[in-house]
Amino acid sequence: METPPGDPRPHRPLVGKEEAALEGEPLLVAELIPGRPQPFYWKSTCETWSVAFSPDSAWFAWSRGHCVVKLLPWPLEESEQSGKAWERKSHCTKGEASGRGGAKEKTLECGQIVWGLAFSPWLPPSSRKHAPCLVLATGLNDGQIKVWQVETGSLLFNLLGHLDVVRDLSFAPDESSSILVSASRDKTLRVWDLGQNGKQLQVLSGHMQWVYCCCISPDGHMLCSAGGEKSAFLWSMDSYSLLKKLEGHQGCVVSCDFSPDSALLATASYDASVILWDPCTGEQMRSLCHIPLQSSVDHSSDYHASSLRSVCFSPEGLYLSTVADDRLLRIWALELGSPVSFAPVKNGLCCTYFPHGGIIATGTRDGHVQFWTAPQALSSLKHLCRKSIRRFLSTYQVLALPIPKKVKEFLTYRTL
C-alpha cells in the first residue's frame, strides 16, 4: 500500500543496495512562476506542457504558456521575487551543474501554443570542423516545428508538414546525428534531418488516434510512440518500419521513456498504471499501479484521480518518476516496484530529470515549474555491469550467452 507523504526531511543520497528504502521526501528547492500574462490572442493558454534540460546540463527550457519558451542558464541564479518571472524557494547546489559563464536567459516568441520541447547538439553542414551548437526544437499548436539556436536565440528552421498539434519531439541520441522525430495529433510521426536543411525523411503512419508521445531509445535503434489506441508502437530507427505493438493498457497511453541502457521501456496511461516492457521481446516485465491517496484527491475534478500524465527514468536507471492527476509526484524504486517517496504537485503535466540526477523538474497547468530533490543512488557494481552489457546486447543476444540462468535473468531484468 502507498503511504501519504510526511513532513519533508533532509535528503540523503542512497549508498549501497538499490533496494534500500529512501529516507525522506523530495524537497522543493526552486519554483518558476510566470509573470502577469501579456494580451496574446485568444488561443494562447498558460499550461506548461513540456520542460527540458539540455544534454550538457547548461540550460533549462520552460514552456511557460502564452506562446513563450524561456531558456534559462542552469543552475538558476538568485533573484528578487518582485518583478521577476521566477521565485527561488531555496538554494540549489551549484556543484551539481555548471552553466556557461555569462550566459543570459532568452525568450523565444513562438507565436503558437508550445506543446513539445527537445534539446540536441547539432553540427551545421557548413561547419563540420567546429564543435556542435546546441539547438532546441519546439512543437507548436498549428503543426509547425520551430528549431532554435540556443546560444543566440535565433530561429534556424521552420519545419512544415504536420496538420495538427505537434505533441512531442525526440532527437536521436548520437551527437553526430541530426535526426528529429515528431508526434502529432494528425495521427502521424515524422522524421526530419536537420543536416539536410530540415528535410522530411519519412512519415510513419499506423496510429488511428492522436499520437501523444514519442521517444527514441538511447542506443538509437528503436522509436516508441503511443496515443489513443491504448497501445504503444515500436518502430525501427534503421528501416522506419513498425516492429511490434505493445498491448496491455486499458486507457490512452500518454507518456513513454526508455531506460538509459535501452533494455526497458516504461509507458504511462490514463488507466492509472505504468507498464515496464522488454522492448526487444515485447514482454510485460512489471505493472506499477497508482493507488490514489484520499487526502490528495480533488473530487470536483473532471479528471480521474490517478490518471497519469508523465513518466521518466532517472539517469542511472534505478528509479522512475511519475506525475498523476491525484496531485502527486511519485518516485519509484525499480527493484522494489513501489513508490518510495511523494511530493505534492497540483495539476502536474510533465516531469523530467536533471541529466546528472539529483533534481526532478515538474510542469503544471498554471504555467509553474517546480524543482525537487531526487534520490541519487551509488549504483552497485552488478548494476553498472548490466548497464554496460545491455547497451550493446539485446535480450536475445544475452539469452544466447553461455552463462548461468540466474545471471541471464538479472541481465534481462527478469528479477524485477
Average pLDDT, the chain: 84
Quickly tell me which residue has 486507457 as its cell: 251
pLDDT band of 80, cuts 50, 70, 90:
very low
| Collapsed DSSP state (helix, strand, coil) of residue 337 | coil
| Dist. CA 193–CA 177, nearest whole Å | 9
Closest CA to 409 of 278, 295, 293: 278
Quickly tell me which residue has 563540420 as its cell: 128
| Dist. CA 141–CA 118, nearest whole Å | 16
Find the DSSP H helices in 83-158.
Answer: none
Return the minimum-mean-pLDDT range out of 156-160, 247-251, 301-305: 301-305
- What is the per-residue pLDDT across 365-410, written as a single tens digit (0 to 9) for each? 989 999 999 988 778 899 999 999 999 999 999 999 999 999 999 9
- What is the per-residue pLDDT across 289-347, written as a single tens digit (0 to 9) for each? 887 665 444 434 434 456 889 999 999 999 999 999 889 999 999 888 788 999 999 88
> Do 225 and 214 contact (CB within 8 A), yes or no?
yes
| Dist. CA 251–CA 230, nearest whole Å | 5
> Do 191 and 201 contact (CB within 8 A), yes or no?
yes
- What is the per-residue pLDDT across 164-192, written as a single tens digit (0 to 9) for each? 999 999 999 976 679 999 999 999 999 99
> Do 41 and 379 contact (CB within 8 A), yes or no?
no
Quickly tell me which residue has 526544437 as its cell: 137
Q: Edge to edge, what strands does the sheet with 308-313 contain?
A: 308-313, 319-324, 328-333, 338-344
Mean pLDDT of 212-222: 95
Q: Residue 13: pLDDT above 50?
A: no
